C-alpha cells in the first residue's frame, strides 16, 4: 500500500512567522511531488510542485525535496492569516495506473496563522 | 478559462434513488478521476480514467459507476445511493505524458452529497 504521511496538526504559527509542513512517502520510484492548499469546503488548489532534489522557491513558498530520505516539505515565509488552510501533500504512484500513475494524497496538515 | 466543472454542486437525495454527478473539463486532459473526501479520511479515489473508454477502480469503488465515452466528460453514477455515500465529491483531471513527470492535477469545485 503506497502511503503519504503528514502530521494532521493543527499547526499554529503567529503572523509573520515561517510555517514548516512536512510529508514522507513510501515509494522510492515516485518522481513528482505536489503541495495543494485546501480551504474548508473548497477544492484543493496547487501551490507548488517539485521534481528534483533540493529547493524550489515561488514567492513566499519553498518546496524542499530529499528523495534519499523520501521526504518533501513546504515552507511558508511571512505567514498570513489567509494562509490558514489544510495543506495536502501529493506524490505520484508510478506502479499503479499507467506510466504516470495516480496521485497519492496525504490526509493533510491543518495550518492556523494567528494575527 | 481552463476549468473542471461539476454538477450539481449540492444534492440532497434519498436512499436508493439513482443519481448522476457530471464532470466536464475543457483542457483536453487524458486523465480524469473521482475522489470523495470525508473528515479524518482525506481524499480517497473512487475511479479514474486514463483515456476514452479506459476506466479503472480506485481505493473505494463500491457503490459507484463511471463511464468515459467522451474525452471531456466523466460522470459518476450512484445506482442505489446509501447514507454512507454522504460526502464531498471532487472530480479532477490532468494531462498524461509517458516518460515524463506528472502534470498539475486540476480539481472541480466539488459536489456535496447528502443521502438520507
On whether the CB atoms of residues A47 and A86 are closer than 8 A, the answer is no
- Tell me the residues of chain A between 51 and 70 that have a Cβ less than 8 Å away from chain B: 51
Q: Tell me phi and psi for residue B84, to 5 degrees.
A: -75, 0
Interchain CB contact of B84 with A (< 8 Å): no
> Following DSSP, what letter does each residue of A54-97 receive, concatenated?
EEEEETTEEEEEETTTTEEEEEESS--GGG-EEEEEEEE-TTSS
Arithmetic mean of pLDDT, A94-103: 69
**Chain A contact for B110, CB < 8 A?**
yes
Q: Measured between alpha carbons, how far is residue B75 from residues A108, B22, B69 in Å?
A: 27, 4, 10
Confidence check: pLDDT of A99 > 70: no
- Across the interface, of A88, A103, A108, the residue whose CB is closest to B102 is A103
Considering only the beta carbons, identify the residue of A43, A98, A106 that sits closest to B110: A43
Q: Is B4 helix (H, G, I), strand (E, B) or coil?
A: strand
Residue given cell 509517458 in the structure block: B98
pLDDT in tens, A25-67: 998 888 889 999 999 999 999 999 999 999 999 999 999 999 9
Query: Three cell numbers at B79?
Result: 445506482
Tell me, yes or no, if A44 comes closer than 8 A to chain B by beta carbon. yes
**Residues of chain B with pLDDT > 70: what percent?**
97
Q: Rounded distance, CA A88 to CA A105, Å?
A: 7
Amino acid at each position: 500500500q503506497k502511503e503519504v504521511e503528514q502530521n494532521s496538526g493543527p499547526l499554529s504559527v503567529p503572523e509573520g512567522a515561517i510555517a514548516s509542513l512536512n510529508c514522507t512517502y513510501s515509494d522510492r520510484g515516485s518522481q513528482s511531488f505536489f503541495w495543494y492548499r485546501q480551504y474548508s469546503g473548497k477544492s484543493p488548489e496547487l501551490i507548488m510542485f517539485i521534481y528534483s532534489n533540493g529547493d524550489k522557491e515561488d514567492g513566499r513558498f519553498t518546496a524542499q525535496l530529499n528523495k534519499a530520505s523520501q521526504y518533501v516539505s513546504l515552507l511558508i515565509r511571512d505567514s498570513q492569516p489567509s494562509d490558514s488552510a489544510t495543506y495536502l501533500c501529493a506524490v505520484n504512484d508510478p506502479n499503479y495506473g499507467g506510466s504516470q500513475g495516480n496521485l497519492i494524497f496525504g490526509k493533510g496538515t491543518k495550518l492556523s496563522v494567528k494575527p | 478559462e481552463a476549468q473542471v466543472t461539476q454538477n450539481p454542486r449540492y444534492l440532497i437525495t434519498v436512499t436508493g434513488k439513482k443519481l448522476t454527478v457530471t464532470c466536464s473539463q475543457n483542457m483536453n486532459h487524458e486523465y480524469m478521476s473521482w475522489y470523495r473526501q470525508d473528515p479524518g479520511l482525506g481524499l480517497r479515489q473512487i475511479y479514474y480514467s486514463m483515456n476514452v473508454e479506459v476506466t479503472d477502480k480506485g481505493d473505494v469503488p463500491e457503490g459507484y459507476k463511471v463511464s468515459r465515452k467522451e474525452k471531456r466528460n466523466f460522470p459518476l453514477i450512484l445506482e442505489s445511493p446509501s447514507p454512507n455515500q454522504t460526502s464531498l465529491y471532487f472530480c479532477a483531471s490532468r494531462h498524461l505524458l509517458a516518460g515524463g513527470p506528472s502534470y498539475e492535477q486540476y480539481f472541480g469545485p466539488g459536489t456535496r452529497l447528502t443521502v438520507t
